[in-house]
Amino acid sequence: MRRFRFSIAAMLVVVLFVAVAVAALRQADALWDSALFSLALGLLALAVLVAVHRPGGRRAYWLGFALVGGAYLGASLVPPIEARLLTTRALVALDARMPGRDDLISSSVWTIGPGNRANALASVAFSPNGRILASGSQGSVRIWDVTTGKPIGGPGGTSEHFLRVGHTLVALLLAYLGGHFSRWLQSRRPDQEVQGQAPAASGT
């Protein structure tokens, strides 16, 4: 049985990933959203290309990387699916605990019915001081300044960007784990006999 080898390079990658994740989630603005999403798409596309030209276990790793990461990232872009993901609920809970956030009222102030023209807006909630408004629609949340009527992009960014950044980071993490799991599955396959090879003669 092969043991998992944790190299210094892998440790540095983990440290770098954690550092970028913390910085991105704390800021969570449009720039971080675009940068991480572009990076994820580039890595997934590169994984497909590498898998085509790599043999054996390396091919299995990069195929698993691309399939698992791409599947999750694609699912997170579909609002009805995103709203049902457990990771979405976890990110929303984490977002509420980020420094600089006002505690929002958890219950909705009103709900717009399906017959209304503005049915894309599901619910809204005010902060206790009445200066901040949260609007929710199709699994995403935006934070607004009631006085100016503009979205808030302060130290914590907006909840919409927080969710997007979080989903991209989760996609990269799952891609990494999916690659290792795929390589583990490939290593457990029994060696296949070469077809057409004649068995060795038992005597002369």
Given this model, what pLDDT does residue 26 score? 86
CA dihedral 127, 131, 137, 139 (to 10 degrees): -50
What is the token pair recorded at 191?
């060696």
Given this model, what pLDDT does residue 138 score? 55
Given this model, what pLDDT does residue 115 score? 43
CB 170 within 8 A of CB 72: yes
Strands (E), the chain: 123-126, 132-137, 140-145
Given this model, what pLDDT does residue 112 score? 40
CA 81 from centre of chain: 13
Given this model, what pLDDT does residue 119 score? 44
- Residue 152 pLDDT > 90, yes or no? no
Region of poorest pLDDT, from 22-31, 101-110, 134-143: 101-110
Residue 69: pLDDT band (50, 70, 90) is very high
Residue 136: pLDDT band (50, 70, 90) is low
